[in-house]
Amino acid sequence: MLDTIYKILAFFTSDATADRWFEQIYDNFIKDDRWTWLMKGLWVTIRLTFFAFIFGFLLGLIIAIIRVSHDKRVVMPRQSFLQRLGGIILSILNTICKIYLNIIQGTPTIVQIMIIYFVILASSTNKIGVAILGFTINSSAYVAEIIRGGINGVDQGQMEAGRSLGFGYIPTMIFIIIPQALKSALPALCNELVVLLKETSVASMVALQDLLAAAMLIRGRTANAFLPLIAAAIIYFVIVSILRAISARLERRLNSGDR
Amino acid sequence: MTDNKTPLIRVENLTKKFSTTTALDNISNNIYNGEVVVVIGPSGSGKSTFLRCLNLLEVPTDGRIYFEGTDITDPHNNINKHRQKMGMVFQQFNLFPHMTILRNLTIGPMKLLKKSKEEAEKKALELLDRVGLADRAGSYPNQLSGGQKQRVAIVRALCMEPDVMLFDEPTSALDPEMVGEVLDVMKMLAKNNMTMVVVTHEMGFAREVGSRVIFMEKGKIIEENEPKEFFENPKSERLKNFLNVVL
């Protein structure tokens, strides 16, 4: 392995340059098995992204449904007590959601993460748990708006058709509206996943050992910034490319059904 | 539950106001079992709003609607239960595009009537066969022509075994050559004594199949009669004018 790297380097440059590069690569990645630091950091990044996306998606879905339900609510001239109570609760929830969305979308991600890490959950020792919570909150706000757009894009007649069969509002949402909304929102959701993956690098600022933090750690040992950072960038790029390829495939498969 | 004397649907003083206009102005009417009521009128006359109020897709501003003796405008009554008994067919079909035809037809019976999958599919295929689309059960709605979609939409409503079928301009979005196939299915329903309320521009259908024709204008019922009298001997000046234009 080392031999091969050396030969490749020597092929492109003079022996002296090859020696110098080889030494740096050795220092940054091979000595003390430093490449495994990057792998460990990558594993943290992937776990963080995965859980934050799943939880952020679920929270965002709930927020989107509350927002749409409120905006499209038809007020009956005659209401039962429960209907009136439901309307009031929905209004309150909607207001909370709107404020939440405004705050989350109106402040930088890094500030949110730092507030959660250093202020709200300063006593917690579960660093990755705190980071997952922080990115869940951040991502949910964007997912909520994406899904809300998807729901609003579903033809009004679909809701009417569901209701006319005798489905209630929520079953119609679940069986008929949401599946269509998610399908049309899929490209934007995949994009949000990619954005989230890249954003998680912010977690290195709160001492979480993610991929970027691992690269910085190597830099601290070797006093060489170029190679570890380039390595981190390449790894991010590869993961993003894989996600993009998967989402393109998924989209094609979903679209083949109805065209 | 209902005999021929008590109406299946009783509409009392129905009024529907939108922000600036009055779409329905104090309408009262009864619809009896086995009737085919055809509602005609110029656009903006409120005929679609009237139909959509019958199953509360449009919420009336005032008035009462009794279905099988129950006041469905009373918020304490579960409208979802009553809607199961009122099939509706839309101008734009509104099939569920993410489901196969068979799934479109069985989701209601399975989830709402708690039928088994086998039972629901058997009934769906039987009805699909009757409208000549048995071979399309596995297709998606977008793979069908407009006329086929509308026939499937009718079958979807029928799968719920409704007591009345509401048609909201079922042929208006169709290419002319497909209108006939949908009207044929509706005629078949009428022959089988299905109670139907049909909003349409198809005067031929009204004359041939209707048991009563209602003419609406500006949110009011101007005239109603059995079809022969209605078309051959219109009483009001406005109906005469309307018939002159459309016939």
Interchain contact, B84 vs A165, CB within 8 Å: yes
Report pTM: 0.87
Q: Is A162 exposed, middle or buried (0-12, 13-18, 19+ CB in 10 A)?
A: buried
Distance from CA of A67 to the nearest CA of B (A): 21
**Residue from the list A76, A161, A167 with its beta carbon closest to the beta carbon of B94:** A161
**Residue from the list B59, B92, B98 with its beta carbon closest to the beta carbon of A179:** B98
Residue B22's DSSP bridge partners are B17
Domain ranges of chain A: 48-207
Task: Give the pLDDT of residue B107.
Answer: 96
Q: Are strands B62-67 and B9-17 parallel, antiparallel or unpaired?
A: antiparallel
The number of C-alpha atoms within 13 Å of B82 and in the hemisphere containing its C-beta is 21
Question: To probe the interface with A, which of B76, B103, B114, B197 has the most A CB atoms within 10 Å?
Answer: B76
pLDDT mean by block of 10 residues, chain B; 247 residues: 72 92 93 95 93 94 93 91 96 96 96 95 95 94 95 97 96 93 95 95 93 94 94 93 90
| Contact residues, chain A, for B95 at CB < 8 Å | 161
The number of residues in chain B equals: 247
Placement of tokens 């959950």 in the chain: A121
Task: Give the pLDDT of residue A257.
Answer: 57
Q: Which fold has domain A48-207?
A: MetI-like fold (1.10.3720)
Task: Give the pLDDT of residue B1.
Answer: 44
**Residue from the list A78, A167, A179 with its beta carbon closest to the beta carbon of B80:** A167
Q: Over the range B152-191, which residues count as b (16 or more CB within 10 Å of their CB) and which as e?
A: bbbbbbbbbebbbbbbbbbbeebeeebbebbbebbeebbe
Residue B221's DSSP bridge partners are B216
The stretches in chain A having pLDDT less than 50 are 259
Interchain contact, B57 vs A160, CB within 8 Å: yes
ipTM of the complex: 0.92
Task: Give the pLDDT of residue A123.
Answer: 83
Task: Give the pLDDT of residue B4.
Answer: 57
| Contact residues, chain B, for A83 at CB < 8 Å | 75
Chain B residue closest to A79 (CA)?
Answer: B75
Interchain contact, B55 vs A164, CB within 8 Å: yes
First-to-last CA distance in chain B?
40
Is A166 an 8 Å CB contact of chain B? yes
Question: To probe the interface with A, which of B91, B105, B107 has the most A CB atoms within 10 Å?
Answer: B107
